[in-house]
Amino acid sequence: MPKNFSMYGLPEDVIFCSKCVMSNQRPRSVVEFKNSNNQKSGLNINADSSVCDACNYNETKKEIDWEKREKELLELLEKYRKPTGYDCLVPGSGGKDSAYTAHILKYKYGMNPLTITWAPHMYTNIGWENFDNWIKVGGFDNILFTPNGKVHKLLTKLAFKNLLHPFQPFIIGQKIIGPLMALKFDIPLIFYGENQAEYGNAVKENANPKMDSKFFSNANSSEIVLGGKKLSNIIKDYSFNLNDFEPYMAPSLDDLNNKKIEQRYLGYYLKWDPQECYYYAAKNTGFRPNTERTEGSYSKYSSIDDKIDPFHYYLTHIKFGLGRASYDAAQEIRNEKITRDEGINLIKKYDHEFPKKYFKESLEYIGISEDEFFSTLDQFRSPHLWKKNRNEWKLIQKIY
Partner 1 sequence: MRTIARIDIKNDSVIKGINLEGLRKIGDPVNIAKEYYASGIDELLIIDSVASLYGRNNLFDLIKKITNEIFVPITLGGGIRSLKDIENALNSGADKVAINSKALENPSFLNEATSNFGESTIVVNIEAKKITDNSWEPYKFCGRERTNYNLNDWINIIQDKGCGEILLTSIDKEGTETGFDIDLIKNVYEIIKKPLIVSGGCGSLDDIIEIRKKFKNVSVALASVLHYKTLKISEINVS
Task: Return residues touching partner 1 (CB under 8 A).
Answer: 275-276, 278-279, 282-283, 288-289, 291-293, 298-301, 332, 337-339, 342, 345-346, 349
DSSP 3-state assignment of 269?
helix
- Least separation in angstroms between residue 122's CB and partner 1 is 20
Nearer to partner 1, 82 or 271 (CB): 271
Q: Helix crossing, 149-163 with 231-238: angle to 10°?
A: 120
Task: Name the residue nearer to partner 1 (CB basis): 233 or 339.
Answer: 339
Burial 335-350 (b: 16+ CB within 10 A, else e): eebbebeebbbbbeeb
- Cα–Cα dist 323/3, whole Å: 23
In 3D space, the residue among 234, 177, 196 whose CA is nearest the CA of residue 30 turns out to be 196
What count of Cα atoms within 13 Å lies in the side-chain half-sphere of residue 47? 1
Cβ 343 to partner 1 shortest distance, Å: 11
Complex with partner 1: residue 153 or 337, whichever CB lies closer? 337
Q: Which is nearer to partner 1, 132 or 186 (CB)?
A: 132
Which CB sits closer to partner 1, 81 or 300?
Answer: 300
Distance, in Å, from the CA atom of 319 to the CA atom of 326, rounded to the nearest integer, reads: 13
Least distance in angstroms from the C-beta of 278 to partner 1: 6
Burial class (CB in 10 A: 0-12, 13-18, 19+), 153: middle
Any bridge partners for residue 89, and if so which?
114, 190
CA distance 25 to 29: 12
Considering the complex, what minimum distance in angstroms separates the CB of residue 290 from partner 1?
Answer: 8
Q: For the CB of residue 340, give the shortest distance to partner 1 in the complex, in Å.
A: 12
**Closest approach of Cβ 395 to partner 1, in Å?**
21
Comparing CB distances to partner 1, the nearer of 42 and 138 is 138
